[in-house]
Amino acid sequence: MTKQKKKYIIANWKMKLGQAESLTLAKEVKRKYRDGGQAEMVLCPTATALAEVGKILAGSKIKLGAQNIFYHDSGAYTGQISPKVAREIGCEYAIIGHSERRKLGETDEDVNRKVEAALKNNLIPIVCVGETFREYEEKKTEVVIIGQVTRALEDISLKEGQKIIIAYEPVWVIGSGQAVDHGIFQHIVQIIVHTAVEMGAELADKFEVIYGGSVDEENVREFIVGNISTGVIVGNNSLEADKLIKIVENINEL
C-alpha cells in the first residue's frame, strides 16, 4: 500500500491576537485536535507568542511555525527574528515572503536568502507567491508566479530529507472571503511544478504546492481532493479553534 502524503494546514494568526488570546487558542486547538489522519497542522502565532505557544504544543503532534525569519542567525540586526532561535524554541516551519511582508518591502532577494537560512537551520520554508489584483486583471499571473518562484529557489540546494513548500496565495483573494476557483489553482500548480522542475532535477521531488486565500471548512476539499495540492494556509478561519479543527477533519475525511 502506498503511504499517503501529508496534508499541511498552516494556521497563520498574523498579528491578530494578543498574548493571552494566542495561548488560549493554542490550548483549545490542542485539546480539540484528534490525530490519526494525514493532516499535519502547523500553528504560526505572532513572534512574541512563539516560545509560549511552543511550550503548549510540546509533546503534541501539532507543529510550530514562524510567520517570518531573518536571513542571518545572529548579529546587529535590531528587531529581526533569528532562524536559529526560532528553531531553538521549537519551530519546524517558517512562512517566507507572505504578501503582507512583501507589501512592507520584502524583496525576492530577501525571500531567496531567507529560504537558504531556513534550510540551514532545519526549518521547512513555506514560500508564499501570488499576484496582486492589478496583475491578475492585466493577465500577468503566470509571469509573476514564474518570476517569484524562480527567484525564491535560485541557487537553493536541499540536503537529503529536506523539502520546500510553495504556497500560491493570490494577494487579492486573501481575507476576501472568496477563494480562487480551484480550476485556476490547478493550472497555477502546474506552472509552479514546471518552473521548479526546470530549475534542476535536484528540486524536482523535494517541494510541495499548497493553496492560501479565504480557505474555509466548505471549500477546503476543493484544493486537496484528487491530490491537486498537499495543503492550505488558513488566515481568518484559523482564529477560532472549532473552524480550524473542522478544516482539519474535512481534510482527514478525504
Catalytic residue ranges: 98, 169
DSSP codes, 39-96: EEEEEE--GGGHHHHHHHHTTSS-EEEES---SSSSSS-TT---HHHHHHTTEEEEEE
Q: Is 46 in the site for ligand PEP (CB under 6 A)?
A: no
DSSP H or E stretch at residue 20: helix 19-32
Among 9, 11, 12, 118, interactor with ligand PEP by CB under 6 A: 12
Query: Do 157 and 202 touch, CB atoms closer than 8 A?
Result: yes
The answer to the question of residue 97 lying near ligand PEP (CB under 6 A) is no
Shortest distance (Å) from residue 200 CB to ligand PEP: 28
Q: CB 35: neighbour CB atoms within 10 A? A: 11
* Whether the Cβ atoms of residue 117 and residue 83 lie closer than 8 Å to each other: yes
Binding mask 154-173 for ligand PEP (x = CB under 6 A): ---------------x----
Residues in the chain: 254
Candidates 49-57, 85-93, 182-190, 233-241; binding stretch for ligand PEP (CB under 6 A)? 233-241
Indicate whether 103 belongs to the interface with ligand PEP (CB under 6 A): no
Match 545572529 to its residue by C-alpha cell.
74
Any contact of residue 236 with ligand PEP (CB under 6 A)?
yes
- Which stretch, 34-42, 72-80, 84-92, 232-240, contacts ligand PEP (CB under 6 A)? 232-240
The dihedral through the CA atoms of 189, 186, 165, 148 has a sign that is positive
Residue 233 interacts with ligand PEP (CB under 6 A): yes or no: yes
Residue 45 contacts ligand PEP per CB under 6 A: no
Min CB(130)–ligand PEP separation in Å: 9
Q: What span, in angstroms and rounded, lies between the C-alpha atoms of 158 and 196?
A: 13
- The answer to whether 215 contacts ligand PEP (rule: CB under 6 A) is yes
How many binding residues for ligand PEP (CB under 6 A)? 13
Q: Which of 220, 234, 241, 245 binds ligand PEP (CB under 6 A)?
A: 234
CB of 164 to ligand PEP, least distance (A): 17
Is the Cβ of residue 75 or residue 177 nearer to ligand PEP in the bound state? 177
Using the rule CB under 6 A, give the single segment among 104-112, 134-142, 156-164, 229-237 that binds ligand PEP. 229-237
Q: 127 or 174: whose CB is closer to ligand PEP?
A: 174
Q: Which is nearer to ligand PEP, 56 or 233 (CB)?
A: 233
Q: Give the C-alpha separation, 63 to 72, whole Å.
A: 23
Q: Which residues have CB under 8 Å from 10's CB, separation 6+?
A: 42, 44, 65, 93, 95, 126, 167, 210, 212, 231, 232, 233, 234
Beta bridge partners of 165: 126, 208
User: Which residues contribute to the site for ligand PEP (CB under 6 A)?
Assistant: 12, 169, 174-175, 212-215, 233-237
